C-alpha cells in the first residue's frame, strides 16, 4: 500500500521510471543504451514503491487503553537519549529520545500517544545531516505538543540533508489515538519525542524501533 502523504512524489517517480523503460524499449537496437535506460527506469520505479510504502501496523492494546504509554512515532534507530531543558510545555528537565530514519525506513509518521494536540508549529532552519545531534535544535522542523490525562509530550519532525519536505496534518484541537497517522518526512530524516524527566524510558540507544508498534516510554 502507498501512503497518501506521498502520492505526488510517488506518481512522479513512477511515471519517470516507466518513461525511461519505454525509451529503453524503443532504443532496443542499441543494447548498451537500451539496457541502461531499462535498468535505471526499473530502479526508480522500485524505489518509489519502496520509499512510499505504508505497511499495516498493529498498535499495542496497552497504548490504546493507557494514556501513560508512549510508542515510537516512526521507524528507525534510536540515536540519542539525553536530558534537556524544555521550557514550552514540560517547563523543566525533560528526556529527549531521537530516532534517525534512513532512506530505506518507512517514513510515515504516527502520533506517539493518546491525546489532544495543543500546539503545532513549523520552524524554518538548517538541513544538517539528520544523524548530527545538532539537527534536533537547528534543522527545519515541525514541533507538536500533545496532552492527555497522564501527562504532556512533544514530538518533532525534522528534515535532514536529503529530506527537504515535511508533511503534517496535525492541528490544534485534533484528538488522536496512539498510532494514528498524521504525516511523513520525505527521505532521510529525524524524529524526536520529548517527555518529562521522570518518564520511564523503555528503549536504549542503538535499538531499532517500529513506528506504531514499539513501546518507547511510559509516564510514571
DSSP string across 104-158: TS--EEE-SSSEEEEEEEEE--B---TTSTTHHHHB-EEEEEEE-SS-EEEEEEE
102 is catalytic: no
pTM (two decimals): 0.87
Q: Is the pLDDT of residue 215 over 90?
A: yes
List the single range of 63-67, 122-126, 181-185 with lowest mean pLDDT: 122-126
d(CA 118, CA 113): 13
Mean pLDDT, range 79-91, rounded to an integer: 95
Higher-confidence residue: 137 or 81?
81
- Please, what is the average pLDDT of the chain? 91
Cα-based angle 72, 75, 79 (whole degrees, multiple of 5): 80
Which residue among the candidates 98, 136, 152, 189 is catalytic per the annotation?
Answer: 189
Mean pLDDT, range 37-47, rounded to an integer: 90
List the single range of 47-51, 58-62, 186-190 with lowest mean pLDDT: 186-190
Mean pLDDT, range 182-195, rounded to an integer: 89
pLDDT at position 165, please? 80
Q: What is the pLDDT of residues 191-206, one digit of tens each?
A: 999 999 999 999 999 9
Query: pLDDT band at 188, cuts 50/70/90?
Result: low
Query: pLDDT band at 162, cuts 50/70/90?
Result: low
pLDDT at position 47, please? 85
d(CA 64, CA 214): 13
Eight-class DSSP state of 188? S
d(CA 50, CA 56): 14
Cα-based angle 176, 178, 184 (whole degrees, multiple of 5): 80
Q: Is the pLDDT of residue 208 over 70?
A: yes
Query: pLDDT band at 164, cuts 50/70/90?
Result: low
d(CA 13, CA 203): 36
Amino acid at each position: 500500500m502507498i501512503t497518501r502523504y506521498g502520492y505526488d512524489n510517488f506518481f512522479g517517480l513512477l511515471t519517470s521510471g516507466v518513461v525511461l523503460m519505454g525509451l529503453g524499449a524503443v532504443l532496443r537496437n542499441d543494447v548498451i543504451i537500451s539496457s541502461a535506460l531499462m535498468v535505471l527506469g526499473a530502479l526508480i520505479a522500485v524505489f518509489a514503491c519502496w520509499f512510499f510504502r505504508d505497511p499495516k501496523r498493529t498498535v499495542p492494546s496497552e497504548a490504546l487503553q493507557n494514556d501513560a504509554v508512549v510508542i515510537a512515532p516512526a521507524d528507525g534507530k534510536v540515536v540519542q537519549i539525553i536530558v534537556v531543558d524544555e521550557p514550552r510545555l514540560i517547563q523543566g528537565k525533560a528526556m529527549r529520545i531521537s530516532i534517525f530514519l534512513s532512506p530505506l525506513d518507512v517514513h510515515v509518521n504516527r502520533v506517539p500517544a493518546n491525546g489532544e494536540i495543543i500546539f503545532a508549529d513549523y520552524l524554518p532552519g538548517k538541513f544538517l545531516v539528520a544523524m548530527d545531534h545538532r539537527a534536533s535544535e537547528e534543522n527545519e522542523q515541525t514541533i507538536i505538543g500533545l496532552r492527555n490525562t497522564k501527562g504532556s509530550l512533544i514530538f518533532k519532525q525534522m528534515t535532514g540533508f536529503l529530506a527537504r519536505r515535511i508533511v503534517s496534518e496535525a492541528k490544534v484541537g485534533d484528538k488522536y489515538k496512539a498510532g494514528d497517522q498524521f504525516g511523513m518526512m520525505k527521505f532521510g530524516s529525524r524524529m524526536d519525542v520529548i517527555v518529562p524527566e521522570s518518564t520511564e524510558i523503555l528503549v536504549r540507544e542503538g535499538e531499532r524501533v517500529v513506528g506504531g508498534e514499539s513501546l518507547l516510554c511510559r509516564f510514571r
